[in-house]
Structure 1
Amino acid sequence: MADLPFTLDQLRILRAIVKEGSFKKAADSLYVTQPAVSLQIQNLEKQLEVCLFDRGGRKAQLTEAGKVLVNYCESILNQCQEACRAIEDLQQLKGGSLVIGASQTTGTYLMPRMLGLFRQKYPEVAVQLQVHSTRRTGWSVANGQIDLAVIGGELPTELNELLDVKPYATDELALVLPMKHPLAKSNELNKEDLYRLDFVTLDAQSTTRKVLDQLLASAGLDVQRLRIEMELNSLEAIKNAVQSGLGAALLPVVSIEREIAAGTLHKPLVVDLEVRRELKLIRHPARYCSRAADAFLNEILPLFSTKSNQTSDKKNIK
């Protein structure tokens, strides 16, 4: 077989230029000089006998040949990383890495506890948590940047077809009131009581708010009748507002466990109102599953599945 007309270093440099948008920024990100980057690209173009960049503009623009190579570049470098991780796995989890993804609520309140337990069992594994929107997290799993993820939102159709998507647990949405609210003396309320409350909610344009509104509507609540007193941009801000007496809120149970236990929020039962959303585990079925990822899947995730879903059977997530 003839020698390949490029090296892995050249592909890394090419990827960096595309990602950073210029030769100079790529050189800075790789901690090398700009002339070194330019020379490597010139050598690559000479070996391939094509131009990879249109050098007429101020920004590094790929030619058609450049675009073709970049498409393969990401796949080649990901395969190399997977090969390195497979070799690291031979060390019986005395090294290696694990990259976990999560959507906002899951990543903020559930994943840190999971990763804390994992680090106790496997302290030598480098662990990284990436918390983004469901869509961005899904694409990161598809591109091999994340090993696996737990999400609460809906994936785009093309990702549902590409990824292995399995039910993991359910997360309940609960009503919380300030401790000094008149209705906080009651442990049970009716749906009609909700229409007399002033609510603190997420911004109406946020994806999470839209999903929550859909869940409430599906549970038989007239979302349009709810009186919105204030809109904030995070669940933590909403919890603080409720504790300060600024209104009531409907929040994921996983986000208020600490406050309920501490007695700083009141969580009454709302008769005939059960609002649950499904949390899903996503993986790429064709990508290498490292020993670290396998340990997280089979030793850590099942423990929290029962906590997040007390009313349903423990699910097999292998």
Structure 2
Amino acid sequence: MADGLPFTLDQLLIVQAIAQEGSFRRAADSLFISQPAVSLQVQNLERQLGVVLFDRSGRKVELTDAGQVLLQYSERILKLCRETVQALAEVQGMGRGQLVLGASQTVGTYVMPFLIAQYHRYYPGIAVQLLVQSTRRIAQKLVDGRLDLAIVGGEIPFELQRHLKVIAVAEDEYVLVGAPGCTPAAPALGDLVTLPFITLDPQSSTRQTIDRALSRHGINPAQLQVRLELSSIEAIKNAIQAGLGVAFLSMAAVGSDLEQGRLQKLEVEGLQIRRTLWLAYNPERYQSQAATRFREGLLGYQDWLKTPPRHLQLLA
């Protein structure tokens, strides 16, 4: 027991595995050790700490209150250990490492793959993971230290934003699109309430951005004739091509479709809908060289970003 500590890192890993798997056997399998070895380590740990960590009375092993406390600190300790290993590896350069990115739906689908491809050409040894979720969920994971950095298009909740560094990096434009040859090709603002619309669900940041912009131009979003609500932009594009209606979509998502004639842009005089894309990271968390160089490339301080994403205006 080094320096009088009543636990080892191996024991903390075992506690974490049991909590995740719900049984000693599955935890042993996940750690590639025997179940008796797991049981012995837990018994030794409980004896050293003087507490019971697991309730073994049910079909599923449950953490006691003391076990919950130990798990919370174990996750923080083990995260710091992993960051230590990563930091030491980076002392030898950017030959290897890991970068965990997050993005909201539109950015993650249509922008991040392009950025990651350019970054990977410059730093091929860096393994990149990308998590695509809602802006709120991505922001929460940044606060929790589960992501290195993220690019989001929605508004980050205030209670999370105060823990993060948030920087405007690009502007995205929403355009009204329909099937090729659809009419009217240039609807007036007042005509919007007569068109059949296809939208994302009302809770999506895209839908909220569009609704706010229409309200500013005197159009009540509730008066739009929403024919269909879908859960993905690709589904909306397919529905438009099938002639089911029109939709406001990001230029990042439909730019190539417009160029290749799969969709048609409908010009609405006097209406322009833009939103800012935000780079966010947790300044209280260790920033790896891999994350720092990705961030600085977006901000114009590194030259791996040779070509900006098409249909997107970088602010750097």
Contact 1:306 1:314 in 2 (8 A): no
Aligned residue runs from structure 1 range 159-238, under 5 A: 159-184=160-185, 188-204=186-202, 208-238=206-236
Contact 1:170 1:308 in 2 (8 A): no
Which deviates further from its counterpart, 158-167 or 299-308? 299-308
State the partner residue of 1:46.
47
- Unaligned runs of at least 5 residues, structure 1: none
The alignment partner of 1:155 has SS state of coil
State the partner residue of 2:37.
36
Q: Which 4+ residue blocks in structure 1 deviate beyond 6 angstroms?
A: none
Distance 1:268 1:122 in 2: 41
State the partner residue of 1:287.
285
TM-score between both structures, scaled by the size of structure 2: 0.90
Distance 2:99 2:264 in 1: 38
The amino acid across from 1:20 in the alignment is: E
Distance 2:179 2:62 in 1: 56
Relative distance call for 1:33 and 1:158 in structure 2 (3 A) is farther
Distance 2:136 2:108 in 1: 14
State the partner residue of 1:277.
275
Q: Post-superposition shift, 1:220?
A: 3.4
Relative distance call for 1:139 and 1:35 in structure 2 (3 A) is farther
The amino acid across from 1:140 in the alignment is: K
Relative distance call for 1:215 and 1:36 in structure 2 (3 A) is farther
Which deviates further from its counterpart, 228-237 or 20-29? 20-29
The amino acid across from 2:14 in the alignment is: I
Residue identity (%): 47
Contact 1:219 1:275 in 2 (8 A): no
Relative distance call for 1:37 and 1:136 in structure 2 (3 A) is farther
State the partner residue of 1:243.
241
Q: Post-superposition shift, 1:248?
A: 0.7
State the partner residue of 1:143.
144
Q: Post-superposition shift, 1:196?
A: 2.0
Contact 2:168 2:315 in 1 (8 A): no
Q: Post-superposition shift, 1:97?
A: 0.9
Which deviates further from its counterpart, 35-44 or 278-287? 35-44
Relative distance call for 1:275 and 1:208 in structure 2 (3 A) is closer
Contact 1:114 1:301 in 2 (8 A): no
TM-score between both structures, scaled by the size of structure 1: 0.89
Q: Post-superposition shift, 1:227?
A: 1.0
The alignment partner of 1:267 has SS state of strand
The alignment partner of 2:181 has SS state of coil
Relative distance call for 1:33 and 1:139 in structure 2 (3 A) is farther
Alpha-carbon displacement from aligned partner over 1:212-246 (angstroms, at most 9, x marks no partner) = 43343344322122111222221101101111222
Distance 1:219 1:112 in 2: 34
Are 1:56 and 2:57 counterparts?
Answer: yes
Q: Post-superposition shift, 1:198?
A: 0.9
Q: Post-superposition shift, 1:26?
A: 2.4
Distance 1:237 1:82 in 2: 39
The amino acid across from 1:125 in the alignment is: I
Distance 1:138 1:74 in 2: 19
Contact 1:199 1:226 in 2 (8 A): yes
- Unaligned runs of at least 5 residues, structure 2: none
Q: Post-superposition shift, 1:156?
A: 3.0
Relative distance call for 1:6 and 1:239 in structure 2 (3 A) is same
Cα RMSD after superposing both structures: 2.2
Alpha-carbon displacement from aligned partner over 1:105-162 (angstroms, at most 9, x marks no partner) = 1111110000000111111111111111222211221222210001122333321111
State the partner residue of 1:155.
156
The alignment partner of 1:18 has SS state of helix
**What is the aligned residue count?**
310
Distance 2:3 2:77 in 1: 18
Relative distance call for 1:10 and 1:220 in structure 2 (3 A) is farther
Which deviates further from its counterpart, 290-299 or 1-10? 1-10
Q: Post-superposition shift, 1:306?
A: 7.8
Q: Post-superposition shift, 1:61?
A: 2.2
Relative distance call for 1:180 and 1:291 in structure 2 (3 A) is same
Relative distance call for 1:140 and 1:246 in structure 2 (3 A) is same
